[in-house]
Structure 1
Amino acid sequence: MDAQSYSTALADLRAVRDQIKKTRATLAKQEADRDKRIIQLASYEKAKAERIAPAAGLGVADIVALAPALAPDSLAANDPQPQAPTPPAAQATAESAPRPPQPTASASPVPRPDPAETRAPQLPGASETPRDLPSIPADSTGDAWFSHTSGLASTRPNFTQQARSTVFLDTTTGVLVHRNQTHHLDLADRSAADILTAVFHTIPEGVERIYITAGDPWHRDTGRYPYLRDAVSAWLNAPTPGWRTDTGRGRDRMAGHFVHARNPVGRYQRDKGEQHVEIRSVGEWFDIDGDDPHTIRDAFVLLWQALRRHWNDAVLMGSPSQTGRDLWTRTIPQRGQYSDGFPVLSEELRGLLHATAGQGRNELITPPRVPEQLPQLVEYDRTFAYAKHTWKSPVGTPRRITAHTFAAWSQKEQMRALYGCGHWQIRVTVPDTWNHVGLLPAPAPGDRAWHYPAEPGTTFTTWAGGPEIHTALTNPLTPWKIEILDGILWDDGKPLDDWAKKLKETWTNLSAQAHFHGDAQQARAAHLASRAVRSILLYGIGAFAQRPRMVTGTTPRSLERDVPPDAEIIGFNDELITWQKPTGFARDPNAHPEWAAAIWSGARAALLYQRHRDDDTHAGALHTPPGTVVAFRTDALYLTQPHNWPYHHQPGDYLLRGHLTGPVTAPTAEEELLTLRDAGRAALTTEREA
């Protein structure tokens, strides 16, 4: 891209921005009109929230928030509602999000929202409502939580995972790669039915997995729907003559379609016979940049070969999270303390961790905390970051550490506990002289949202892991005041160490191939394979978190009243209403949210402070001048000036990814940050090639 085309593209982008603003304004008017109509309907003496909700495309709770008089008696009394059975008219479909884990049942954890997807509007006043975090009951009820779930443990599998016949399809060009053969397909209008017909006509012996490498066919009708998820749902649920929605089979039983804005999964089964097939996106594994199906096929082959050096029974499953957990189970020791498996925590503790242990830190710091005109914008990304924090994880039966118990310990015992594997409820006070970024997460309004208070004198109550608390107490600027209110403490162990070491060695090997291979296509394939290893570890860790399952279903518009009363409407068209409802935790033998929480806490702490022993130096946000941190984004830092931090191609090292010279207008929204990020990366690439 030359300077002229770059300027033209910027002008086009501004035009799209302006159109988005107009569309949002129109949508806001329509939503205001909808809310007004809901309030009018609520004035009818026999009005019911569960009848109005599907007609409005909202959940029952949303209707009650607009019209409190419609609250059921049990809800008004703050009593839990009984869970209604799924009506026969509803077709339940399962979601198995790659982040968090894909489950082994016909329901799934709550998926993380796609940042590019348009979200449902906040109700008036909802954004100002503070979110309270749960606590452990003070009486013996809370003590009973500190146990394991009876009869549930992670054990080493006694079977060999079966590989699936796989093809790679570019739905833009129709190019299909099957083993060493290349075919050109006529995909008609690229519906699921057209893809299945064309693939199985070309390969009559059948395949079990179709990876879409380009074209995103599930987005073909986005102009007809208000949200991407609606378009994806319609594509997945369109008629497929000769096929029906898969009901699952085998040890890795997966049933139903997975509705995701970017990386959906369609699962189909022959009407007659036992033939099963998945349609998936390679975007689950890595980002591609115009790569053809041959290169992507080679990347999967290289990945499988590299994993086989460490696992002689390694099989690539449908997603990185499934693959990661399967490989981990094959590192469970066959002898020793945990040869009988790693027991799963009580459902109460798993629920507490789900509600109080956040993932990556995502924070945009805006003026006046940073200058309105930044002198430059520099991006540092922690390479393969989570792999740095797998060497120590919680094991054994957890212990409750009350405020009284903690206070009775010596200072040495207290610091040892905070440096160990624990999760703590704390009351935090920001020092009066503090002038840098926030150090500890606090609950923010919104579902699972977090922010990082930094205003001097601010006091808040939250939960945090040991690494973050230790950093707050020993940071190089000013120690924070922290009061322990309650805590969960485990023994230190290494349940993930062998698994992570093998993945790190695999990543190192593939990264070296990508750097030194003489053939450009094979070098690119090795690079993609190394990114896939990162996804296996990243999403494998997320899989341990085991979110509460969320069942997704569809109900015909003519049967609106059959939508479950506790369901949330997530989409609709002329024929179907799509809804979702929580179903609690599954009896998942590989549910270990304590491991995911410990790794996430360590990674957040390393964004603030990281010591490089070999270089006798430090890196991280706290080793930058106040007012120079612009943003945190999972494992990346955005700063207003460069730093000479050591980089040795090791997990956790800070890699310079982008550098945009200023002056740069400080971003005030995530979209603006991402635009600057891409421009900074392109500028750095141009600078290095010059």
Structure 2
Amino acid sequence: MDRKTYTAELAGLRELRTEITAAEKLVAAAQKELDKLTAQRARRVAGLAGYEGAQAPAIAKASGLSLGDVVRIAPLLDPTPAAVRAAKADDRAAAAVPAPAPVAEPVVEPVAAVAPALTRPAAVLEQPTPAAPPVEAPTEAEHQAVVEQPAPAAPAVPAAPVAPVAVGPRELPALPEGPAGARFEAVTTGLVSKRPNFTQQARSTVFLDAATGELAVRDRVVRLDLGTRTPGEILDAVLATAPGTERIYITAGAPWHDGAERYSTLKDAVAAWLNTPSERWTTAVGSGRDKLAGHFVHQRQPVGRYAPAASPDGPVTEIRSMGEWFDPDGADVVTCRQAFTLLWQALRRHWDDAVLMGSPSQTGRDLWSRTIPTTGKWAGGYPVLSEELRGLLHATGGQGRTELILPPRVPEQLPALVEYDRTFAYAKHLWKSPVGVPRRITAAAFAAMTEAEQVKALMSCSHWNVRVTVPAGWNHVGLLPAPVTGDRAWVYPSEPGATFTTWAGGAEVHLALSNHLGPWKVEILGGLLFEDGKPLDEWGKRLKAAWADLTNLSKLHADERQRQAAYLASRAVRSVLLFGLGGFAQRPRLVSGTTPVGEALPAGVEILGQAGDVVTWQRQAGFSRDPYAHPEWAAYVWSGARAALLDMKYRHGKEVIGHAGALHAKPGTVVYFGTDGIALTERQPWPYRGEPGDYLLKGHLTGPVEHPASQEEYLKLRGLGRAELVATEKGTDL
């Protein structure tokens, strides 16, 4: 080829490039239109599912979809018998993380290895957010997440705000050297999460309004005389009407709060009510070194377990709060019972052997155990980490971020208070989780990695001990948690130059290094690198499908009672996931018990109160040999959720089409973080598609608003903002 031909070919190549670019634009425009029409068709198919006589074959023919596609869009239309459905499992494992570069000779361990900045700082502190296609937004969203119960409260929830840079002296544990450190790269011998080979037995359950005496039992409602509403009188009245009842859910009335004004704390009042003397009933007890009380003392959602006094080893009847599953919000006993029925039906569409247990935590864990794979690497079950490693994760992996940001970082007079809540938030973070025995990464090992290996390690399922420095010129919210003493276990420093040492999940560390406002300085002191796996993915997919079924039903059903019941059932699915995940954290057990006055109390107990001749106490009992203890999963999901409060990507397939989160709001506008939601001083252009993790506008309180001085004041303002938004939307509808 001569020079003339070469030049001519270059010119032709440029023309071809122009034609290809034009064609790509046409294809992109056509694809955008196709996506719009496809989404419109999916919404119409989902809407048709609300008709009781809807048939999947007819809808498939009219829409041009296959029967399988129709069922995927609207699972309520699935004509396949539940017994023959097979859940799809994705057994693909992520690529193994490369080992650290070998070191030929012994090296001196560096104090820390500086992690690489993963993006260049933006030229300005605020970037425009790409707009996503507009989608009609539902009117309901998620409430603020709470700590798993009956486990003790997670350390990340504060009682009151403190100065944001007041990093206290609390020192977090580190990975020890030598033989002791080997226990942090080990599992507990003989303890594996295995798929059960039995089916749970359903319990005979009734629903009682303790305020009116109305009892929903099977398909009828009767009114009972509850006397003074002591546990014994409630048990007598219920079992006389519904013999064989094993579980009583109190939907309204909260009898455990009767006479609460006589006690110094609400917990004392609840303990006294649970232990009210009765000639016919006694506390159901277990076995062990101590005679453990069957009751669980909680301020608002206690559990009482009783057996006949004549036969203490006889059948046990529980008295529980409906609030464990959802806030009844004025629903009558029939609606609550119907919500449980719809919940069971929705779960049975995805688990042939689903059974509703006493609490959402127990139910969630049981359902998860039935998704443990029967083939592949983890067919024999998932090993439980060593007690030392579980203790480290318990001490260093907090739950949700709860923070009230105080002036002068925000105005004394807020122009407005706008609340956004992430819908079914934790469900978005279950697609990947750590599995197997972690590999310890020292500062030297991290420093020896190539930059690509360091980035991969930070993006993998990991937990890092880091020293962090807030960069000069930073004027936004804090990104990483710092440990402090007192009721509030974590704060989020944001003052330029602040330095602190902490532990954080890979998602948060990666965000600190890659956020669009500018990278923070992060020095790696050590860490734990797990294999990327999908132990929660199938469980999450099924729960999300059940939640979507019930959410759609709550909007489309013609009967108002059924709509309300479906909504409450969707909230119960959320509780199953939220508390089921909290159950994996398996914090040290909190054991409660009772001892007659005058007898010696067990060592190390905290006295909860005294009722008559009985003292009720509790104490920490360490970690149990729980085959379903996986704090590494809970810590990883919580870390991802905290990162998403700051920066969440909206995707269409693999394409990022928008962003949301605190870092995409103007500096000085973020007022409050509340586990899965945030409050700001102005509205944001964040799209809402009704998908798990999306930010939904939940409240808007018109200003000027005096800045709340405490969390309690904020919660009052939040309630006013939600009421104002509802009133505004009703006015708009008129």
TM-score clears 0.5: yes
Cα 1:687–1:297 change in 2 (3 A) is same
The answer to whether the Cα contact below 8 Å between 2:416 and 2:701 also exists between their aligned partners in 1 is yes
2:152 counterpart residue number: 110
Higher Rg:
2
2:443 paired residue number: 403
1:114-154 C-alpha deviation (Å, 9 max, x unpaired): 999x99xxxxxxx9963111111122311232111000010
1:650 matched residue in structure 2: 691
CA contact (8 A) 1:355 1:448 kept: no
Match of 2:471 among 408, 420, 431: 431
Give the Cα–Cα distance (whole angstroms) in 2 for the partners of residues 509 and 573 of structure 1.
46
Q: Aligned partners of 1:600, 1:112: CA distance in 2, in Å?
A: 11
Partner of 1:481: 521
Displacement of 1:113: 9.6
2:411 to 363, 371, 376: 371
Aligned residue number for residue 558 of structure 2: 518
Corresponding residue SS for 1:482: strand
* SS of residue matched to 2:389: helix
Does the 8 Å contact 1:213/1:282 carry over to 2?
A: yes
Q: Which secondary structure does the structure 2 equivalent of 1:381 belong to?
A: strand
CA distance in 1, matches of 2:646, 2:542: 28
Judge conservation of contact 2:157–2:400 (CA < 8 Å) in 1. no
For the 8 Å contact 1:263–1:283, the answer to whether it is kept is yes
1:573 is displaced (CA, Å) by 5.3
Deviation string, structure 1 residues 464-484 (Cα, Å, up to 9, x no partner): 000000000001111000000
CA distance in 2, matches of 1:128, 1:545: 25
**Residue-by-residue CA offset, 1:193-217 (whole Å, 9 max, x unaligned):** 11001011112x3200000000000
Letter in 1 for 2:619: K
**d(CA) in 2 for partners of 1:666, 1:212:** 37
1:259 has 2:297 as partner: yes
For 2:616 and 2:157, locate their aligned partners in 1 and report how far apart those are by CA, in whole Å.
20
**Paired amino acid for 1:183:** V
Offset at residue 255 of structure 1 (A): 6.4
Report the secondary structure of 1:677's partner residue.
helix
Displacement after TM superposition at 1:577 (Å): 3.6
Contact 2:308 2:315 in 1 (8 A): yes
Shift of 1:513: 0.3
Work out which of the residue numbers 232, 239, 244 in structure 1 matches 2:282: 244
Given residue 584 of structure 1, which amino acid in structure 2 is its aligned partner? G
- Conserved in 1, the CA contact under 8 Å of 2:152 and 2:587? yes
Q: How does 1:596-635 map to 2 (within 5 A)?
A: 596-614=634-652, 616-635=657-676
1:269 to 291, 300, 307: 307
**Which residue of the partner structure matches residue 397 of structure 2?**
357
Distance 2:549 2:567 in 1: 10
Residues 135-146 of structure 1: matches in 2 within 5 Å?
A: 135-146=174-185
> 1:560-639 residue pairs with structure 2 within 5 A?
562-572=600-610, 575-614=613-652, 616-639=657-680
1:367, CA displacement in angstroms? 1.0
Q: Contact 2:157/2:489 (CA < 8 Å) preserved in 1?
A: no
Partners of 2:308 and 2:611 in 1: how far apart?
26
Distance 2:596 2:668 in 1: 54
Find 2:382's aligned residue among 325, 342, 349: 342
Asked if the contact 2:167–2:493 (Cα under 8 Å) also holds between the matched residues in 1, the reply is no
Partner of 1:318: 358
Q: Could you say if the C-alpha distance between residues 604 and 290 of structure 1 is closer, same or farther in structure 2, counting changes exceeding 3 Å?
A: same
Verify: 1:545 aligned to 2:593, yes or no.
Answer: no
SS of the equivalent of 1:213 reads strand
Query: Distance between the aligned counterparts of 2:157 and 2:445, measured in 1?
Result: 43
Which SS does the other structure have where 2:507 is aligned? Answer: helix
| DSSP-derived class of the 2:621 partner | strand
Say yes or no: does 1:676 pair with 2:699: no
Q: CA deviation at 1:416?
A: 0.5
Provide the residue aligned with 2:195 in structure 1: 156
2:147 and 2:520 map into 1 onto residues whose CA distance is 33
Is 1:131–1:446's contact at 8 Å kept on the other side of the alignment?
no
Q: How does 1:383-422 map to 2 (within 5 A)?
A: 383-422=423-462
The answer for the alignment partner of 2:492 in structure 1 is: 452
Q: Is contact 1:320–1:539 with CA below 8 Å preserved after alignment?
A: yes
Q: Which amino acid aligns with 2:618?
A: Q
Distance 1:573 1:672 in 2: 34
Any idea what SS the aligned residue of 2:527 has? strand
The one of the two structures with greater contact order (alpha-carbon pairs below 8 A, sep at least 6) is 2
| Offset from partner CA, 1:325-360 (integer Å, 9 cap, x none) | 000000111122111100000000000000000000
For the Cα contact (< 8 Å) 1:370–1:627, is it kept in 2? Answer: yes
Percent of counterpart pairs with the same letter? 61
What is the TM-score normalised by the length of structure 2?
A: 0.76
Whether contact under 8 Å (1:101, 1:545) holds in the other structure is: no
SS in 2 for 1:613: strand
Q: Are the counterparts in 1 of residues 461 and 506 from structure 2 also a CA contact under 8 Å?
A: yes
Amino acid corresponding to residue 227 of structure 2 in structure 1: A
- CA–CA separation in structure 1 for the residues paired with 2:156 and 2:192: 32
1:242 deviation in Å? Answer: 2.1
| Match of residue 173 from structure 1 | 212
1:508 aligns with 2:548: yes
Q: Does 1:469 align with 2:515?
A: no
Alpha-carbon deviation of 1:99? 4.2
Q: Which amino acid is the alignment partner of residue 189 of structure 1?
A: T
Matched, 1:199 2:238: yes
- For 1:469 and 1:611, the matched residues in 2 are separated by 17
Pick one of 513, 523, 530 that aligns with 1:490.
530
Letter in 1 for 2:539: W
Q: How many residues align?
A: 573
- CA deviation after TM superposition for structure 1 residue 112, in Å: 5.3
Contact 2:250–2:320, Cα closer than 8 Å, also in 1: yes
Q: Is 1:667 the equivalent of 2:708?
A: yes
Q: Alpha carbons of 1:463 and 1:435: their partners in 2 closer, same or farther (altered >3 Å)?
A: same
Output the CA distance in 2 between the equivalents of 1:114 and 1:466.
18
Partners of 1:268 and 1:351 in 2: CA distance: 33
- 1:439–1:380 distance in 2 versus 1, CA, 3 Å: same
AA in 2 matched with 1:463: W
> Measured at CA, do residues 568 and 472 of structure 1 come closer, stay the same or move farther in structure 2, by a change above 3 Å?
same
* Structure 2 unaligned regions, length at least 5: 1-145, 161-165
2:284–2:316: 8 Å Cα contact kept in structure 1?
yes
Among residues 727, 730, 733, which one is paired with 1:686 in the alignment?
727
| Aligned partner letter, 2:575 | S
Code of the residue aligned with 2:528 in structure 1: it is I
Equivalents in 1 of 2:378, 2:488: separation in Å?
33
1:663 maps to a residue whose letter is: P
Cα separation, partners in 2 of 1:237 and 1:112, compared to 1, 3 Å: farther
Partner of 2:229: 190
Question: What amino acid does structure 1 have at the position aligned with 2:651?
Answer: R
Q: Distance in 1 between matches of 2:578 and 2:354?
A: 18
- Structure 1 residue 235 corresponds to structure 2 residue 283: no
The amino acid across from 2:573 in the alignment is: V
Shift of 1:557: 4.3
Q: Which amino acid aligns with 1:668?
A: A
Cα distance change on mapping 1:304 and 1:538 into 2, 3 Å: same
The AA in structure 2 aligned to 1:436 is H
Provide the rounded CA distance (Å) in 2 between the counterparts of 1:465 and 1:530.
Answer: 30
Alignment map for 1:77-96 (pairs within 5 Å):
none
SS in 2 for 1:145: helix
1:658 is paired with a residue whose SS is: strand
TM-superposed CA distance for 1:101, in Å, is 5.6
2:539 aligned residue (490, 499, 516): 499
What is the alpha-carbon root mean square deviation over aligned residues? 2.1
Residues of 1 paired with 2:681 and 2:488: CA distance?
29
The one of 100, 112, 118 equivalent to 2:148 is 100
